[in-house]
Amino acid sequence: MDLVSFSWETRPLTILRAQPRLGHPDAPAAGFGLLIGGGPAAAESGATFSARDPFLEQDWGQVALASPRDVDAAVRAANRAFADGRWSGMLAGERARILLRLADLIERDAALLTSQQVFENGKLVSEMLPGTTALAGDCRFFAGLAETHGGMTVPPTRHGFTTFTLKEPIGVVGAITPWNTPLGLLGWKLFPALAAGNTIVIKPSEITPTSTLMLAQLCLEAGVPPGVVNVVTGGSETGAALVEHPDVAKIAFTGSTATGQAIASRAALRSARVTLELGGKSPQVVFADADLDRAVNGVMAGIFAATGQSCMAGSRVLVEDQVFDRFCDMLAERGSSMIAGDPLDPQTQLGPLASKAQLEKVLSYFAIAAAEGLECVTGSHRLERTGYFVAPTVYRDVPPDSRIAREEIFGPVVALFRFRNEEEAVVLANDTAFGLAAGIWTQDVGRAHRLLHRIRAGTIWVNNYRIIGHTLPFGGYSQSGTGREMGAHALDAYTETKSVWVDTGNDLEFRTGQQEI
Ligand code: NAD
């Protein structure tokens, strides 16, 4: 297999669909290796898996399938890079300068990084491009924090001491990411991990491995020393090997709740640090006094954008009784007239689902809804065209205990519920095992404030939805996760805190029995 290491010469292979492209009969099939110790490597077994375009339903490349031995090689490389201080030993300002260069490179290659992700998961270029640009901003944010994230001097509790804390990198971070926003969600882990001086082994989703390799290559170009950023590609076995590896000090995971819980329990056995960003079944609460046109837009953005494949999808929409029927008609009309098509076409509004497995999952929920006797307003079928497309789907008056109401579908499928008063809205909104996000639509500012305190979710949007930015933390309550990513405190999740007592020599008597533990 000829390995693509994303050097300048190989870059034309990854250019936009309009040009001869990966998978095109005229283009050479590409092979993608692992990135270990700063260079591309084949899997030791020689095994590969296919990269597939969900819009064309075509394979366009072969990707190395990392075994536990490959994972071990990557972790050893990361461990060596951590131990010799080539990164952690740099001044924080030097690391910041390299991260700022990386941000510039991300901007330089934004179109390439974007199209690569679109080939992988079919997400619309109109959404992916701003996301890639935002990635550069995220990188700069953490570059800025590198020099300011320090410990603090604290008043000593005994005479004769100086006491302070130090913030130190944890060691080797294992980052495991999903396919829906491959680079955005990687950046939330990679940038703070690097800013704090850690090294990293990344296990991207098997559906979106190549864009991650591309970003890792940019890290090298920016001046991140070899071995600091490593990538192992593969599926659950590759990820499990990373979780089990004794030299991985922290696992940063984004993905489904079931996988996250399994990972957390394995990591707990060896006291590895863990942060989890998991699934959701987020409510949007629409009151009768809301600007309904804006609310429909927000609900569309919440559940039909990204073809519903978003952790923060607003998949449960609670509408006040007086406007329920009108809102339902507005949403059905807008949803059913969305333009489905090529995700690289800026006019397209609805892209394919990211994989055949995801298509089958969503279709299985259509069957569940039919079996549960749910009232379908629009959708509930596959689109008759090439690509893993399904119709935007609306179910109304969904019983709160139905599976459509309770389970994360990760597709353009929305359940509408009716409520009669504020109290009922709060009870319905909180009637979920998740707690990632919520939207509130009302023109009554007092009501908005009452609800934003009472709804249990990590992010609340009032009269908007699905907006994020690096200055605010993101994460979930209950089964939506553990810890927060982004925001000024994100570096805490990538550092250990060391407390230091310096005896200043003023009090030399032998101390015992005084609050020691
Ligand atoms: P997934 O849990 O199937 O896979 C996520 C990652 O974990 C992949 O890289 C996968 O290969 C790996 N993996 C699978 N089994 C593993 C194991 N046993 N050990 C180690 N690694 C393993 O999730 P997905 O289908 O890729 O992504 C969709 C899910 O991600 C949805 O549930 C969505 O809500 C969630 N998500 C959450 C957020 C958030 O910020 N909260 C953001 C995006 C996606």
Helix (H) or strand (E) holding 462: strand 459-462
For residue 259, the CA-to-ligand 1 centroid distance in Å is 6
- CA-nearest residue, atom 23 of ligand 1: 255
pLDDT digits (tens, 9 = 90+) for 67-125: 999 999 999 999 999 999 999 999 999 999 999 999 999 999 999 999 999 999 999 99
| Distances, alpha carbon 93 to alpha carbons 89, 98, 370, 496, 501, in Å | 11, 9, 59, 19, 27
**Collapsed DSSP state (helix, strand, coil) of residue 421:** coil
Show the low-confidence residues of the chain (pLDDT under 70): 1-30, 506-517
Residue 251 tokens read as 């696992």
Which residue among 71, 213, 245, 259 has the greatest number of ligand 1 atoms within 8 angstroms of its CB, and so is best to mutate?
Answer: 259
3-state secondary structure 28-45: CCEEECEEECCEEECCCC
The reported pLDDT for the residue numbered 516 is 61
**Annotation: CATH topology of 283-462:** Aldehyde Dehydrogenase; Chain A, domain 2 (3.40.309)
311, 320, 328, 485: which is the annotated catalytic residue?
Answer: 311
- CA-nearest residue, atom 30 of ligand 1: 255
Contacts of 140 (CB under 8 A, 6+ apart): 99, 100, 103
3-state secondary structure 329-393: HHHHHHHHCCCECCCCCCCCCECCCCCHHHHHHHHHHHHHHHHCCCEEEECCCECCCCCCCECCE
Residue 280 CA, closest ligand 1 atom number: 34
Q: In whole angstroms, give the CA distance from residue 414 to residue 152.
A: 48
Which residue among 236, 266, 413, 485 has the greatest number of ligand 1 atoms within 8 angstroms of its CB, and so is best to mutate?
Answer: 236
Could you list the beta-strand ranges (E) of 177-299: 199-203, 229-231, 250-254, 273-277, 283-286
Q: Tell which residue, 395, 400, 430, 429, has the closest CA to residue 414.
A: 395
Percent residues over pLDDT 70 in the chain: 92
The reported pLDDT for the residue numbered 31 is 82
For residue 513, the CA-to-ligand 1 centroid distance in Å is 50
Q: Tell which residue, 47, 114, 98, 40, has the closest CA to residue 73.
A: 40
> Does residue 311 carry a catalytic annotation?
yes
For residue 329, the CA-to-ligand 1 centroid distance in Å is 34
Using CB atoms within 10 A of its CB, is residue 265 exposed (0-12), middle (13-18) or buried (19+)? Answer: exposed
DSSP characters over 104-136:
HHHHHTHHHHHHHHHHHH---HHHHHHHHHHHH
Cα dihedral angle (484, 490, 492, 493), rounded to 10 degrees? 50
Q: Tell which residue, 285, 281, 275, 261, has the closest CA to residue 436.
A: 281
The reported pLDDT for the residue numbered 61 is 87
Residue 322 tokens read as 């007086």
The reported pLDDT for the residue numbered 450 is 98
Where are the domains positioned within the chain?
69-278+483-497, 283-462
Q: Tell which residue, 477, 439, 444, has the closest CA to residue 461.
A: 439
**Collapsed DSSP state (helix, strand, coil) of residue 496:** strand
pTM: 0.94
Contacts of 21 (CB under 8 A, 6+ apart): 15, 27, 60, 119
485 within ligand 1 shell (Cβ under 6 A): no
**Collapsed DSSP state (helix, strand, coil) of residue 77:** helix
For residue 337, the CA-to-ligand 1 centroid distance in Å is 31
Backbone angles phi, psi at 284, to 5 degrees: -120, 125
Q: In whole angstroms, give the CA distance from residue 464 to residue 437.
A: 12
**Contact assessment for residue 263 and residue 243, using Cβ atoms and an 8 Å cutoff:** yes
CB atoms within 10 A of CB 68: 16
> Does residue 139 carry a catalytic annotation?
no
CB atoms within 10 A of CB 269: 9
For residue 280, the CA-to-ligand 1 centroid distance in Å is 12
| Distances, alpha carbon 56 to alpha carbons 13, 116, 385, in Å | 17, 14, 10
Q: In whole angstroms, give the CA distance from residue 451 to residue 463.
A: 13
Using CB atoms within 10 A of its CB, is residue 153 exposed (0-12), middle (13-18) or buried (19+)? Answer: exposed
Could you confirm whether domain 69-278+483-497 is CATH 3.40.605.10?
yes
| Three-point CA angle 357, 363, 365, nearest 5° | 110
